[in-house]
Structures are given as structure tokens and as C-alpha cells.
Structure 1
């Protein structure tokens, strides 16, 4: 008589799908902020200046608390002295210049 090995199956407790979803929400993977090279920073700067001058919509990706977030809207102001931009959409946002990762004209 042979004993059939179940491997790790005997050590894993069954979980309800609701529990799995809650665990995924709690344990969000922390992402590091990428370090932008000078060329990418210049590209972002030029795109922001063009968007401000021509009042076109932009889509911006920025870093906040371990996440990459995306916003769309029109650029209202660039305040380089204080280090932020004002993006106009339904909510209105002030975004730090150092947290911007990418900007595209929509």
C-alpha cells in the first residue's frame, strides 16, 4: 500500500474569494520612484511649457506614496519657484514637479 503525497496542498487552508480580494487590497505592492535622466526631464519640461502656451489637454503620470497615478486635464500654471504645477480638471490638482514621471499631449 502506497501513500500518495499531496505536497503543499495539505498546508494551504482554503480561502473564500472575498478573503483573497481583501488580502490583495491590504497588501499593495510598493513601487519605487524611478530616477529620470536629464533627457527625460527636459522632454517633460518642454511638453509642459507647450501645453501651457497652447492650452491643450495633457495626460500626466506621477508618483505618490508608492503608486503611479495618472491625471488628465489642462495645465493652468507652472510655479518653478515653489516646485509644483496646477492641473485643471473636474477636481483641480497641485502636483509637485519632482513627482512627475511622464507627460503626454492628448
Structure 2
């Protein structure tokens, strides 16, 4: 709306531009935008101001009125967009992880574990303390001597340090 009115004024000035060089007709335009009141367009004709105020509510025009259902759906959409998916491991990757863990247990080496928990990836650095085959868990002692239990199915990757 503002652009249309300003372009109409500019078109008007272009039509009168052949007369602008004469001393009788001098046209100038100044545009100033205010955030809440609108845009002030000043048209000067023969050094006399002809003020035109365009009221368009400014920034208030774009504030949204949202229903609670809309807000809830937008939050769900945003949550689904940021959601991470656990990758599926094939048999070769599982065997490689198992070999790495067994070798680290035999030589008492530190490992870097990447596991998927609560819809996010986590890193843990430590030594394998015990592998519980019945519960399908690995017990890991980290660098601060804290004990962590990670399920086999949550492991994504295991690497030597």
C-alpha cells in the first residue's frame, strides 16, 4: 500500500519533470518511515510543503493474534523438525563395535562411546568396566571415576582414543 502511493507520487513527478527545469515549477519528495505511526511522505511544490501522511500501523501490522491451538501445533512442528533419528546399525558395524570393546577390555584402553538416548546423541569417554550380557548393558567408568550404564541397543559408535 505504501509502495503504491509512493510510486504514484513518483509517477506524478516524472510526468511533471519537463516542467521541473523552469523556475516556476520545482517538485521534490522526501519519505520518512516511523515504526508505529506509519510513513510520512512530503511533497514539495515550489518550495511549499504539501504533506501526505500514510497511516499503515507500521510494525503493529505484523503482530499475530494466535489461538492456543495454533501455538500448540507450531510448537509440535518445531519439535518434530529438531528431532533426531537413531541410525540403524547393520551386522558389520555391530561386529566392529564388539571387537573394539573386547580389545579395549583386554588392554585396558580408553574408548569414546557415542550413544543415542532421549532423542539426542551423547559422547562418553572412559574404560569398559563390565559387559552384562543378560541385561544387555555396558558399564563404563569415565575419567572422573563415575559409573555409567549404557544399553547395547543405544550404542551408535565406539572408537579408540
2:39 counterpart residue number: none
Question: Does the alignment pair 1:11 with 2:68?
Answer: no
Larger RCO (CA within 8 A; separation ≥ 6): 1
1:51 counterpart residue number: 104
CA distance in structure 2 between the partners assigned to 1:80 and 1:87 by the alignment: 14
Higher Cα Rg, which structure: 2
5+ residue gaps, structure 1: 14-26
Q: Using the TM superposition, give the Cα deviation of residue 31 of structure 1 relative to its aligned residue in structure 2, in angstroms.
A: 0.8
Match of 2:94 among 20, 23, 41: 41
CA distance in structure 2 between the partners assigned to 1:73 and 1:92 by the alignment: 9
2:34 counterpart residue number: none
CA distance in structure 1 between the partners assigned to 2:62 and 2:103 by the alignment: 59
Match of 1:83 among 136, 140, 143: 136
Q: Using the TM superposition, give the Cα deviation of residue 12 of structure 1 relative to its aligned residue in structure 2, in angstroms.
A: 6.2
CA distance in structure 2 between the partners assigned to 1:12 and 1:75 by the alignment: 55
Q: Using the TM superposition, give the Cα deviation of residue 79 of structure 1 relative to its aligned residue in structure 2, in angstroms.
A: 1.3
Question: Does the alignment pair 1:74 with 2:127?
Answer: yes
Question: Does the alignment pair 1:99 with 2:154?
Answer: yes
